Structure 1
């Protein structure tokens, strides 16, 4: 369970001309050091809030998400807690990290890391602000809107290996890892945590 938000914003502002017409003024592109300030501030504030409210322990491994009711705590919190910390909640691999295929960097970095223009990450948080669409590019705008409105799981990225494990293909910029691998029960567990959220 990786929580994320998409924002579609104008890269400028409208003003009114003397004749009452609207004038659009584009602002300069954002630089990676500015994005680093954003991702640093967001990561520190979210982690501080989670610790203050008792949802994240100091070591960052245990996360509690829920409304505090007995049913929520017992039936769902365990799945959510494991999911947001990239661990397995049930079965023979309970408590272990989700298996990743391919190279991958850890989440222990304390300084923002620039991946490319407009893409910065830190402590598992990232900001991607490199996509820009011109006013006349209506087809690209439609494609972007469809991307923003997509579901959390892509059927095209799911496959099975020779042992019956479920492989889920990751985006190429995901730290070098190509897939995550789940047993059938582990995959159902992850789906359940999203459905019941």
Structure 2
């Protein structure tokens, strides 16, 4: 029931280093598509004053999150919830930050639109939506590994694939989310922070 992801184990510390600068001191952090739960476990332990709320639409992923939480979890790590980003009714009413790791390229475009809409419903003005993953950036060559990954994603599902950052940020802005920070990460990934400007 407890699952493990080599990628999650590799990238959790680089992601954590950025989160230490970007997350608020207290409140609820909503993690979207938390997968195996290893990120949630690691980040909750690193931020004991934050309530860490993992979610995933997949029942097996939620079972893995719960197995990790029961075995090694800290008191601030909450039980995993079912959350479909494309739904208009989320199981959480508010959050001081939203984190989604490796979501937008492994989901249809409608999932990104749902993520923007949900963030605009939940976040207070100035709060961040934080994303991690590979991107296409205008004027910058795509790394061969990311080019191959993009092709593999589209073969798996034509709706998947690396998003182009300028177009993505323009759509986010329609929902009141402004791209505020961009940090280069290992393995040709980026961390992006979109700040909610308020409704």
Calculate the TM-score normalised by the size of structure 2: 0.21
Calculate the TM-score normalised by the size of structure 1: 0.21
Higher helix fraction (1 or 2): 2
Pair member with larger Rg: 1
